[in-house]
Amino acid sequence: MSSCSRKILALRIHALATTFNRCYHRATALHCPSGPPKLSPYDVNCILRTNEHTQEFFGGSVKSYDSNQLASNSPIEDSRSEASCVHTSGLLLGIFDGHGGPACSQVISKRLMRYIAASLVPPDDLRQHVLNGAQSFSFLSCHNDKLEFVSEIKELYEKSFHQFANELTNTTLAGFQMHQTLENAFIRLDQDLSREAIEMPSLRTMSVAMSGAVALVAHIDGPHLHVASVGDCSAVLGTVTDTGQWMAKKLTNEHNSDNVGEVRRLLSEHPATERDTVIRGERLLGQLAPLRAMGDFRYKWSREQLEQLVVPQFGEQVIAPYYLTPPYLSACPEITHHILTPRDKFLIIASDGLWDTMSAMQTVHLVGEHMYGKAFLQPLTLPKQDITLGEISQMLTTRKAGLQKKPLDRNAATHLIRNALGGTEYGVEHSKLSHMLSLPQDIVRLFRDDITITVVYFDSEYLRNCPT
């Protein structure tokens, strides 16, 4: 971009920001004549902690995880899911960020994990489960799962899963590749969502098909960490260096117009005559920010299918301008494999509502400090062996110093949300946090997105001794 173009762009941004601020202050005055309501620290804590969850494990490379969500949209369009595989030793954790409504993110948050879990079972074992009439839920032990499908749609989803599981029994174990397994599960579920809407169109199947979601799933089994992602959720590994410093290792790439490689991939899949229309205004066909997503079949189906199935119900505007050579959107995930070491202390996975406000390094520092401070939330316990008064005095001195760093929240995901919304260079500012949590519903989305976070803690001792 030339210097002149940058100056013009800066002027336009400044003008938009000025207009936006005027609109915001006008909206705030209309809704709250005396300003936004002031929340007490108790009120703030109640809001921030409503959806938090902690799960502990015994044995294996994962010690525990903390998760939390804070809505901006109403209803929230983010979903999350965590589950242990029943027939293998893996743990699955997912973050799903919906758009165009919550339908797609809610559906894939339950179904995708089960497709993956079934794919990990050896074909001969899977065949026995299928013959015994195994249902999708029999492959996972879900944690903190509060969503249940209505019977009508549940039967449809079970039928699709059973067909998928039957096909898996015909694969050969010798050809197993984790990358391919994750990719197949993502793509197959997306194909099933499409087929269900085409063959059995209803309000429910079409609402899933016309909305969409980006997805990130982490699978952890012993020292092996695989992360599969479509869209702009992110995974960051918190690692300690030889000098005791924190290092943030990003395991994902955002699939949007800022990703040059992703733009090149998309352009290569369409004629050169569409070079200026495939991405317009930094969005797919001028409309969608992520360049990979599940659902969103208005960017995948043929024009004829859209005209026949969608236009009668949703109108002509459902077909994007310059819609010439679909599909334009892919559900194929990008996959990263990392072998965990004792220096890898935790994994942060989150929707872009967190990354809009914080860098990867900031989140790692916050969780690292939280790990240290959280130890002082526990009661002081003395060792069982003999100990001198001097040693007890030293322990108390250390604890007194540590209590100054004691975090307000036990849950690391809550700690991140608190800092994301209220953090300043001097710490968390209550007035800022109160303001961000009390914005009127019709303007809150202008200031913050839905935030969903899961922080996974690793067992360093286990990783030190386990084979790779």
Each residue of 152-177: b (16+ CB within 10 Å) or e? ebeebbeebbbebbeebbebeeeeee
* 121, 127, 131, 132 alpha-carbon torsion, rounded to 10°: -30
| 264 vs 466, residue with greater confidence | 264
User: What are the CA-CA distances from residue 306 to residues 186, 301, 316, 333, 467 (Å)?
Assistant: 23, 6, 9, 25, 52
Q: Where are the alpha helices (DSSP H) in 63-202?
A: 103-119, 123-131, 151-168, 178-199
DSSP H helical ranges for 58-102 = none
Residue whose C-alpha is closest to residue 110's, from 126, 86, 123, 94: 94
Q: What mean pLDDT is predicted for residues 267-275?
A: 97
Decide the pairing of beta strands 279-280 and 246-250.
unpaired
Nearest-10 Cα torsion for 351, 355, 358, 363: 50
**Distance separating alpha carbons of residues 326 and 270, to the nearest angstrom:** 9
Do the bridges between strand 212-221 and strand 224-230 make them parallel or antiparallel, or are there none, so unpaired?
A: antiparallel
Above 80 in pLDDT, residue 137?
Answer: yes
How many angstroms from the chain centroid is the CA of residue 290? 14
The answer on pLDDT for 33 being more than 50 is no
Is residue 444 pLDDT above 90, yes or no?
Answer: yes
| pLDDT value for 384 | 62
Rounded-to-integer distance, Cα 338 and Cα 227, Å? 8
Token pair of 44 as six digits: 């703030």
3-state secondary structure of 384: coil
What gap in Å lies between CA 307 and CA 184, rounded to an integer? 29
Among 16-25, 329-338, 376-385, the range with the most confident prediction by mean pLDDT is: 329-338
Q: What is the mean pLDDT of residues 43-57?
A: 97
Contacts of 14 (CB under 8 A, 6+ apart): none
Radius of gyration of the chain (CA): 24
Confidence of residue 147 (pLDDT cuts 50, 70, 90): confident
Residue 53 burial by CB count (10 A; 0-12/13-18/19+): exposed, middle or buried? Answer: middle
Neighbours of 363 (CB within 10 A): 26
Q: Is 66:81 a contact under the CB 8 Å cutoff?
A: no
pLDDT of residue 6: 45
Grouping H, G, I as helix, E, B as strand and the rest as coil, residue 350 is strand
pLDDT in tens, 152-204: 899 999 999 999 999 999 876 566 799 999 999 999 999 999 999 999 999 99
CA distances (Å), origin 282, targets 232, 265, 355? 14, 15, 18
pLDDT, mean of residues 69-91: 96
H helix runs in 256-347, sequence order: 260-268, 303-305, 311-314
Q: Are 451 and 353 in contact (CB under 8 A)?
A: yes
Look over the chain and give the mean of its residue pLDDT values, rounded to a whole number. Answer: 89
The residues facing 424 across adjacent strands are: 427
Cross-strand pairs, 85:
140
pTM confidence score: 0.87
Once rounded to an integer, what is the mean pLDDT over residues 61-65? 97
- Please state, as a whole number, how many other Cβ atoms lie within 10 Å of the Cβ of residue 306: 21
Spell out the residues 6+ positions from residue 30 whose beta carbon is closer than 8 angstroms to its own: none
Question: Structural domains in the chain?
Answer: 41-465 (3.60.40.10)
pLDDT in tens, 195-253: 999 999 999 999 999 999 999 999 999 999 999 999 999 999 999 999 999 999 999 99
